[in-house]
Amino acid sequence: MELELIKAHQDNKNSTLVIFSVCPKGKQEDINGKSETVKILHPLLHKILKDSIADKTITGKAQEVCLFRNFSFEGYKNLLVVGLGSHKDPEAVRQTAAAVYSGLKGANVHDACVWMDQLPAGKKEFRTMLEAFSEGLLLAAYNFDELKSKKNDKTDKKELRVFLQTKLATEAAVKNALREAKILVECVNFSRRLGDLPGNLMTPTIMADTVSEAIKGTGIRAEIWDKARIKKEKMGGLYGVAQGSEQEPRFIILRYNGGGKSKKPIVFVGKGITFDTGGISIKPSAAMEEMKYDMCGGANVIGGLLAIAKLKLKVNTIALVPAAENMPSGVATKPGDVHRARNGKTFEVNNTDAEGRLILSDALCFGSEQAPQMMVDAATLTGAMVVALGNTHTGFFTRNDALAKKIQQAAGNSGEWVWRMPLCDFHTKDMKGTFADLSNISSSKGAGSATAAAFLEQFVEAGIPWAHFDIAGTGWAVGNRLPYCSKKGASGVLVRTFVELAKLYE
Ligand code: BES
Ligand code: MG
Ligand code: ZN
């Protein structure tokens, strides 16, 4: 899909005009609601379409799309009216853009012009709205069909061109907003693709190679550790998880120095299990194919760093991804086996399916050694997270209130939904080992996500502000919540929040 900004549309003949409608809060469910409460945000079009409002063809409801073919208005061929609902925040606009995309795609049109100036935003918020709208369109256009012989995207044959028309902002400001949206979404879609590729095509080696290729020209430097190096560096967690697989593990270190030399880095760590069978504590077969997504934490911190570098944020940033495949075999880690992490702590592997925390342990040790001003990790860590929050909110754990506030602020800016979860000494106690320092599963029932977080905390040096994001519920298959995500595919969750978080450390 092509996306351009223009001041005035020139050739309207075959184009579809896109315009917004709104419905005030509470009115949309009102079955006796008066039709005048619905507004089409263009006075003239409102007059012309008042019958469609009266017969409820147009209700102004969020993401409603209504196409009028051969409408012939100001030289445009068709008209698409899209509902904004009662919300005015950028995330509502982002989601509305996805509705526009599917509306245009469904109607098989190839050229559209969106009149942006009617968006309910003051001058100051307009740029944010424009950026959100562009992001929504581009995010919705992501389609993972590279493994199909026949592409299912109709618009592939003829590209969809969308023009955003505005007179509200200066051309330079508006162009810049679009440029940033394009960079951000390119990085989100990069992460999504890593997640969507199946386990045989996204091994730890391929992941490291793909990333090494992607960072070219961005100023990011990569260091990739192989199996021998991982062993030499005393990463017993990562090594122990990988030992049952034919696929060699990798430890991916990415560095971007956008800030001053003396500035401490911020560190992002992501779980990179390229496939999780559970190991000897093998998972049931049903839906096991979804465990190709077990590297989404890693993929999304990489996407986040790519965006931070491409947007040239003035912050020193490190992304760390321990990557391995969790397989059962004659040489795999067995329940009860004890391994030693990089900081010397030992752990019993009482369930080989609780592998994410083991590979993260070494990465968090390494991250701590970088003396960061802040460290966060993202992982598809526990099924319990899906039980707790479903696929709407990403749960995060931290004991640091100041960092929690920053995370909430960053997520507020990115439009992603996060929810703070408890992490306290009870959880830490539950992870004590019988024969080693720690056990990788809890001795108590329940709170499986918090006890996992408490395990991770054991590998973060005291004093470093640290937070853990469990994206088990939000890493993929969130299309029922977010129209700009695919139904089954990877979401790229937190890439946007990581960028916003990095901005707070500039
Ligand atoms: N990758 C899984 C967690 C997961 C499960 C993510 C379902 C998304 C959907 C993780 O490695 C795992 O298997 N965790 C276990 C831990 C348990 C054995 C303590 C779990 O949650 O069942
Ligand atoms: Mg597992
Ligand atoms: Zn896993």
* Mean pLDDT, range 307-321, rounded to an integer: 98
Would you state the torsion angle of the CA atoms of residues 235, 241, 243, 244, taken in this order, to the nearest 10 degrees? 180
118 & 238 share domain: no
- Going 355 to 361 to 272 to 205, the CA torsion angle's sign is negative
283 & 364 share domain: yes
Cα distances (angstroms) measured from residue 305 to each of 32, 216, 255, 262, 274: 51, 13, 9, 20, 19
How much distance in Å is there from the Cα of 460 to the middle of ligand 1? 21
Q: Supply the residues annotated as catalytic.
A: 283, 357
233 & 152 share domain: no
Residue 136 lies in a domain: yes
E strand or H helix at 114: strand 111-115
What domain range includes position 439? 217-503
Dist CA 89 CA 419 (whole Å):
19
Q: What is residue 76's DSSP assignment?
A: B
489 & 379 share domain: yes
The count of structural domains within the chain is 2
CATH of the domain at 483: 3.40.630.10
Residue 28 lies in a domain: yes
Q: Are 78 and 87 in contact (CB under 8 A)?
A: no
Taking CA atoms only, the protein residue closest to ligand 1 atom 7 is: 383
pLDDT classification of 123: cutoffs 50, 70, 90: confident
Q: What is residue 141's DSSP assignment?
A: T
How much distance in Å is there from the Cα of 472 to the middle of ligand 2? 11
Q: Give pLDDT tens digits for 324-378.
A: 999 999 999 999 999 999 999 999 999 999 999 999 999 999 999 999 999 999 9
49 & 127 share domain: yes
Q: Give pLDDT tens digits for 163-216.
A: 988 888 788 888 888 999 999 999 999 999 999 999 999 999 999 999 999 999
221 & 155 share domain: no
pLDDT at 254: 99
**Which residues, judged by CB distance below 6 Å to any ligand atom, belong to the binding site of ligand 1?**
276, 294, 351, 353-356, 380-384, 386, 441, 448, 472
- On the question of pLDDT at 156 being above 80, the answer is no
Residue 118 lies in a domain: yes
pLDDT classification of 9: cutoffs 50, 70, 90: low
Dist CA 479 CA 300 (whole Å):
17
pLDDT classification of 436: cutoffs 50, 70, 90: very high
- Going 370 to 217 to 187 to 201, the CA torsion angle's sign is negative
Q: Are 282 and 328 in contact (CB under 8 A)?
A: yes
Beta bridge partners of 438: 347, 432
135 & 246 share domain: no
Choice among 113-117, 274-278, 486-490 with the minimum mean pLDDT: 113-117
CATH of the domain at 104: 3.40.220.10
The CB-based long-range contact list for 285-291 (8 Å cut-off, 24+ gap) reads 289/198, 290/476, 290/477, 291/199
Taking CA atoms only, the protein residue closest to ligand 1 atom 6 is: 472
- Spatial CB neighbours of 122, under 8 Å, sequence gap ≥ 6: none
How much distance in Å is there from the Cα of 265 to the middle of ligand 2? 30
Residue 382 lies in a domain: yes
pLDDT at 264: 98
Residue 43 lies in a domain: yes
Taking CA atoms only, the protein residue closest to ligand 1 atom 17 is: 354
Phi then psi for residue 396, to 5 deg, are -130, 150
Residue type, 246: E
Please state the atom number of ligand 1 nearest to the C-alpha of residue 440. Answer: 19
Q: How far is CA 77 from the centre of its chain?
A: 36
318 & 428 share domain: yes
Please state the atom number of ligand 1 nearest to the C-alpha of residue 326. Answer: 11
Question: Can you read off the two tokens belonging to residue 415?
Answer: 């439009």
Residue 119 lies in a domain: yes
How much distance in Å is there from the Cα of 356 to the middle of ligand 3? 5
Q: Which ligand is nearest to the CA of 385?
A: 1
Residue type, 41: L
Taking CA atoms only, the protein residue closest to ligand 1 atom 5 is: 383
Q: Which residues fall inside 5 Å of ion ligand 2, going by CB? A: 276, 353, 355
Burial class (CB in 10 A: 0-12, 13-18, 19+), 172: exposed
- Map 230-252 to HEC letters: HHHCCCHHHHHHHCCCCCCCEEE
Phi then psi for residue 37, to 5 deg, are -70, -20
Q: Give pLDDT tens digits for 366-413.
A: 999 999 999 999 999 999 999 999 999 999 999 999 999 999 999 999
How much distance in Å is there from the Cα of 383 to the middle of ligand 2? 9
Q: Are 227 and 239 in contact (CB under 8 A)?
A: yes
62 & 124 share domain: yes
